[in-house]
Amino acid sequence: MDYRRVLQVSLDSLSSHKLRTFLTMLGVIIGVAAVVAMLSIGEGAKEEVLEQISILGINNIIINAVVPEQIRTSDLGLHRSPGLSLADGENIKKFEDLVAGVVPQRYEPIPSVFNGSQEASVRVVATTPEFVYSSAIGVEQGRFITDSDNEDFRQVCVLGAKAKRQLFTFEDALGKSVRIGDMDFTVVGVMQDKYIGRGKVEGFELKNFNEDIYIPLNTAVKKFDRVEAKRNASGGGHFFMISKSVTTQNYNTPEIDQLTVTVKDLEYVSAVSKLIEKVLQRRHAGVADYEIVVPESLLRQSQKTQQIFNIVMGAIAGLSLLVGGIGIMNIMLATVLERTREIGVRRAVGAKRDDILRQFLMEAVTICLIGCAVGLAIGLIISRGISFYAGWPTVVSYFSIFLAVSVSTAVGVSFGLYPAYKAANLDVIDALRYE
């Protein structure tokens, strides 16, 4: 049998009832559009989370200094805890078989940095040269802080991409000075621009690294005061700021604000985080003046949430396709009844049962595939619209297109098979006599 001829006959039959064909396709169109849009949103969210986790470092464990909750411990315990310190990092480094490095960070309470009359609201981060190895952010121009910068207390800095744009716009920043507090720092490098997305992963707020300015830790310790502190949550994360107005407090000002621990092997991240928890509990006298964040755990939680989202959205899209399939079956049964005499004539002039079966099955599949094509187009438009208006990243993968086509074909075959079988098994004499 010539399948091209069968296809042409099917198309002619469908085009002779355009409105009915369109209404039949509607369920498939909605279902396919929902599948494509849902998968594009899910894939986009997955890519965004992976990018955000890669910035934090999948092998990293982040320890933040926080203000302790007084109700959970005694004042004696609060006084005994030194707060997050470099000594904590040194103790964690002793797990040398598991830990590749520990990078301290201290956030300086300087709200603005100046380049002449240009002002930028940034965050000044004092850290060590190893920072660049614990993060996915590399240096785009110049260099990062070196050991000699740190040891010699040099007044040098490395600008985040956004900080550079705010201070120097399109000018070359290398070798020029910026005013940090009441001191001049020479720019020796500019970091890569990193997309941060919506800035949250499973409730954990990500800081915008593009707004940071990095200076040597020893320089900050020597030249910036750190007397008393209070909690400030601006800019993401927990950090402490000098406050001359605070005269008494029942907890110690932490020496540093964050430790980033890089684990040698991903499979040891969970075990190392538990070891770190025990070390800090002992050193801080049981005072909860720190929090431990494990990006790898955040990734697992995000993937679980995404899986639930995909199941729910997939069920909704599946219901639309089910409704579309039922609509196709109803219309095809009506079509068989309407074309009973035509079927009888074809059988009388030599058409076999299989020929009739293929023809009606082809019509059902054609309805689904045309509906699939329209649904794909609508799904692509929806995903682009969501990305443009809502600001959510969307990614249309080849898998989503393959899945939509496969499911549409399966719906056409499944729901078109019974009407086609019924048409093929009509009695020739009864069909010719049908009015």
Out of 151-160, 238-247, 335-344, the most confident range is 151-160
pLDDT at 77: 57
Tell me which of 158 and 342 has the higher pLDDT.
Answer: 158
By percentage, how much of the chain surpasses pLDDT 70?
86
Q: Does 235 have pLDDT greater than 50?
A: no
Number of alpha carbons in the 13 Å side-chain half-sphere of residue 72: 9
Q: What is the pLDDT of residues 117-137, one digit of tens each?
A: 888 888 899 999 999 888 878
pLDDT at residue number 184:
92
User: Which amino acid is it at 408?
Assistant: S
Query: Whole-angstrom Cα distance, residue 323 to residue 337?
Result: 21
Phi, psi (rounded to 5 degrees) for 155: -95, 75
Distance CA 434, CA 57 (A): 74
Q: Is the pLDDT of residue 349 over 50?
A: yes
CA angle (15, 19, 23) in 5-degree steps: 115
Tens digits of per-residue pLDDT, 280-328?
Answer: 988 888 888 888 988 877 777 777 777 787 788 777 777 877 888 888 8
Q: Which two tokens stand for residue 338?
A: 């309407």
> 386 falls in which pLDDT band (50, 70, 90)?
confident
242 confidence band (pLDDT: 50, 70, 90): very low
333, HSE (Cβ side, Cα atoms, 13 Å): 8
Contact 68, 288 (CB under 8 A): yes
Going 24 to 26 to 27 to 28, the CA torsion angle's sign is positive
Position 2 scores a pLDDT of 62
- Check residue 74 and give its pLDDT: 54
Least confident of 19-33, 44-58, 171-185, 211-225: 44-58
Which residues on neighbouring strands pair with residue 261, listed in sequence order?
61, 102
pLDDT of amino acid 153: 92
What confidence score (pLDDT) does residue 268 get? Answer: 86
pLDDT of residue 227: 53
Residue 140: which pLDDT band, with cuts at 50, 70 and 90? very high
Q: Are 213 and 159 in contact (CB under 8 A)?
A: yes
Average pLDDT over residues 35-56: 79
What are the sequence ranges of the domains in the chain? 3-53+301-433, 67-288
Question: Which pLDDT band, with edges at 50, 70 and 90, does 248 fall under?
Answer: very low
Q: Which residue has the higher pLDDT, 370 or 3?
A: 370
Which has the minimum average pLDDT: 123-127, 204-208, 242-246?
242-246
User: What are the angstrom distances between the C-alpha of 194 and each of 119, 162, 221?
Assistant: 21, 10, 28
pLDDT in tens, 411-427: 888 888 888 888 888 87
